[in-house]
Amino acid sequence: MPGRAFMLCQLLLLGLGSQGALPPPCDSRIYCYGELLHQVQMAKLYQDDKQFVDMPLSSTPDRVLQHFRELAARHNHSIPTPLLRAFIQEHFQAAGQELQPWTPEDWKDSPRFLQKISDPKLRIWGEQLHQLWKKLGKKVKPEVLSHPEQFSLLYSEHPFVVPGGCFVEFYYWDSYWVMEELLLSEMPETVKGMLQNFLDLVRLYGHVPNGAHVYSLQRSQHPPPPPPPPLTLMMHSYVAHTNDTAFLRDNIGTLALELDFWTEHRNVSVSSGRKSYVLNHYSVPYGGPRPESYSKDAEVRHLGGAGTLMLCVRPRSPVCCCLVITGDQEALWAELKAGAESGWDFSSRWLVKGPNPNLPSSIRTSKLVPVDLNAFLCQAEELMSDFYSRPGNDLQATKYRNMREQRLAAMKAILWNEKGAWFDYDLENRRKNLEFYPSKLSPLWSGCFSDPGVVDKAPKYLESPAVRECRTFWKPDLDLLVRDPDLFSQSRPAGDFSAWPPCETLSSEEGGSSGALSGPASPHASEGQPPWYWGGVNRGWLLSGAGVPAELGAGSAKMSSLRAEVAPAGSGIESEHYVLSEPALYETEGFGWTNGVVLMLLDRYGDRLSSGTQTAFRVPQCLTTALLLSLLPRLPH
C-alpha cells in the first residue's frame, strides 16, 4: 500500500493525473521528469541541483532506468540516501566529463586594445583577463555526437568559450558579452565558430535554448539590457568586425527563423480603445519543476483561492509525499520557467499584483508585457531589415521594416506613459505597472521610439520623487536579476540587490544603436569624465569589484562593488553604506561576461582610468537612477 501511495504522489507531482497537464521540458525520463529525477533531487545530494542533471550516463538510459526501478521496488520507492549515492556513482559520470579543454587557435599575446590602457596596474589586469580566454575554452567530446542519449549536454560541432565556474557549457546571453570581447581581443574565428553553434541549434530546434542542455530546450533566453535576441546582434557585431558578408548571406534565413520563434510563439494581443496590437511576452508552457532547480521549485507552494494546494514533498517517506497537485501548480512552475527565460530570474518585477508579492509563489511573468523584450525585438527587426537590404532583397527588408513600425505603434499605445518612460503592461489587470525598473528606458538604448521629445521627458521622470525615493518601494535600490530562486532572502528576491555587468554596460552607453541619441556626454558628467562617470557609479563598479580582488584578479559573475547612500528599508543592512556582494555560488576565477564587460570598459575608457585608491562614492538614493541618468546624453542644440 505505501508503494502504491508513493506512485500516486509521483503521478500527481509529474502532472500525469490531469488531462490538462503541461508536457515536460524534454522527453528524457532521467534529465527532465520521472521518479529517478525526483528522488535524487529531493534527496538534495548536491549543493546545486544543476550538478545531477549535468552528469552523463555510464550506460544506456533504458539500462539505468531498469536498475533504478529494481532498486526502488526493493525499498518501497523510498531509497535510503547511501544507496541512492551508490546508484549514482555506479550509473553516472561526473559533470563536465563530456567536455575537454581547448585553447583558441586565434588567441594572441597582445591585442591592440591593451596598449590603450594608460594605467600600468589596469593594463596588467586587462592582460590577466585576456589570458582567461584560454582557460575558458571548451570542446565537446565526439561521444556526445555518437551517443547523445547518454548526455544532457547538447552537441556543438565547434569549440566555444564558457562563462566559467560551475557553468561549463555555453549560455545564450552570456555568450553575447563573451563574443563582443573576443572580437575586441582579435579572435574572430572563435566567434564565428560560436555563431555557427547557435545557428545549428536554430536549425535543429527553431530557437537558441538558454543553455546547452536538454532540460533548457523549451526556454530561449532573452537577456537584460542591452541586446535583442542576441543571435541577431552577435551576427551584426561579427560582420561589422570582419566584413564577412558571405557568412551573413548564407545564414540570414536562420536568423529569420530565430526571430520568428519570438514573434510567433511568444506573442500576445493587447487592445487599446478600438484597436488591437500585437506585442511579445515571456512564456514557457511546460510543466514540472525546472530540472536544474528541481528541489527549489518543488518546494514553492501555490497559495490562493479554490485552487489552493499544499506541496509537502517527502521523498523518503513511504506514505504520501504530497497533497494535491493541480493545474495551478503546473501553471506556477511554468511561470518560474518564464522568469528564467526572461533573464530577470527572479525580480520583484514579476511578482507585482500577485496574491502575495512577497513570495515567489506569486510569480506571474507571462501575465506581463515587458518593455525591454519588445524594445530589443524592435531593434532586431531593424537589424534584419538592414541585413536583407544589403543583397537587395527589398521584399524581406520591407517586411521587417513594417514589423518594426507596427511594434513602435504598439509600444507607444500600450507601454508609453507621459510620465516620461515605458512601463510593463499587466494583461490580467489591464494596466501598466508604474513601479520603477531599469528596463523602463530600454527603448532609448535600442532607438525604438518615433518621437524625439521622449528624450527630454526621460530625465524628468528619472529625477521625479517616485524614482529618487525608490528605496520606499517594495524592491530595493537595484532591481536587476539573479539566477537562482534559493537566493530569495527575507521574502525579497536577491535579484533586487544585484549589480550585473550587462546592466552596467547599459549605463555606460551614450545612446541607441540607431544613433537617435548620439550627442555630447551626459550633462551630469564633469568636464573630462566619461558619460558614465557621474556619481562614480561605474568607476566604483569597475574598480572595487568587477570585483578587482586584492591583486587585481579576475572578475566574478557580478560585482561586489556598488556603495549606496541609503540602505533599502527592511533589508537588514544596518550601515548607512553597504556593498553589494557576490553569492558564494558564483565566486569563480573568471566569469565570461564579466571579463568581457570589464575589457570593454577598459578599452573605451582606459586612457582616462587610474587604479588609485578605492573610495566610497556618494551617489543618489537610488543607484539605478544614477545609472540611467548617465545613459541620457544632452541633445545637440
| Contact (Cβ atoms closer than 8 angstroms) between residue 39 and residue 313 | no
Please state, in angstroms and rounded to a whole number, the distance separating the CA atoms of residues 211 and 177. 15
| Contact (Cβ atoms closer than 8 angstroms) between residue 209 and residue 219 | yes
Q: How many domains does the chain have?
A: 1
Domain assignment present for 344: yes
Task: For residue 57, give the DSSP letter.
Answer: B
- Domain residue limits at 356: 295-302+322-365
Helix (H, G, I), strand (E, B) or coil at 161: strand
Give residue 127's identity as a one-letter amino acid code: E
pLDDT band at 145 (very low <50, low <70, confident <90, very high): very high
Q: What pLDDT sits at residue 435?
A: 84
Of the spans 15-29, 255-269, 560-574, which averages the highest pLDDT? 255-269
- Tell me phi and psi for residue 554, to 5 degrees: -80, 160
Least confident of 416-430, 458-472, 487-501, 525-539: 525-539
- Would you state the cell numbers that stand for residue 52, as one nine-digit string? 545531477
Least confident of 90-99, 128-137, 300-309: 300-309
Closest C-alpha to 564, from 573, 551, 572: 573
Length of the chain, please?
637
Burial of 585 (0-12, 13-18, 19+ CB in 10 A): middle
Residue 624 has pLDDT above 50, yes or no: no
- Would you state the cell numbers that stand for residue 442, as one nine-digit string? 530600454
Sign of CA pseudo-dihedral 219, 223, 228, 231: negative
Per residue in 281-294, pLDDT (tens digit) is 999 888 899 999 99
Least confident of 6-10, 39-43, 483-487: 483-487
Q: Which residue has the cell 536579476?
A: 481
Cβ atoms < 10 Å from Cβ of 41: 24
Q: What pLDDT sits at residue 370?
A: 94
Per residue in 373-432, pLDDT (tens digit) is 999 899 999 999 999 999 999 999 999 999 999 999 999 999 999 988 999 999 999 999
| Contact (Cβ atoms closer than 8 angstroms) between residue 215 and residue 31 | yes
More confident residue, 574 or 93: 93
How far separated are the first and last CA of the chain, in Å rounded?
Answer: 81
Q: What pLDDT sits at residue 465?
A: 73
Per residue in 36-76, pLDDT (tens digit) is 999 999 999 999 999 999 999 999 999 999 999 999 999 99
Domain assignment present for 349: yes
Of the spans 201-205, 241-245, 456-460, which averages the highest pLDDT? 241-245
Average predicted confidence (pLDDT) for the chain: 73
Residue 619 has pLDDT above 80, yes or no: no
Domain assignment present for 608: no
- Predicted TM-score of the model (pTM): 0.78
Per residue in 72-120, pLDDT (tens digit) is 999 999 999 999 999 999 999 999 899 999 999 999 999 999 999 998 9
Bond before 92 cis per omega within 30 degrees = no
Q: Which residue has the cell 555563431?
A: 195
Helix (H, G, I), strand (E, B) or coil at 183: helix
Q: What pLDDT sits at residue 466?
A: 65
Domain assignment present for 339: yes
Of the spans 346-350, 378-382, 595-599, which averages the highest pLDDT? 378-382
pLDDT band at 159 (very low <50, low <70, confident <90, very high): very high
Domain assignment present for 90: no
Residue 225 has pLDDT above 50, yes or no: no
Domain assignment present for 336: yes
Kind of pairing, strands 99-101 and 431-432? Answer: unpaired
Tell me the sheet residues that pair with 431.
Answer: 426
Domain assignment present for 346: yes
- Tell me phi and psi for residue 145, to 5 degrees: -80, -40
- H-type helices in 416-496, by residue range? 442-446, 454-462, 465-468
Domain assignment present for 181: no
* Beta strands per DSSP E along 79-150: 99-101, 137-140
Provide Rg for the chain, Cα atoms.
Answer: 24
Q: What pLDDT sits at residue 72?
A: 96
| Contact (Cβ atoms closer than 8 angstroms) between residue 285 and residue 334 | yes
Sheet strands side by side (includes 431-432): 368-369, 425-426, 431-432
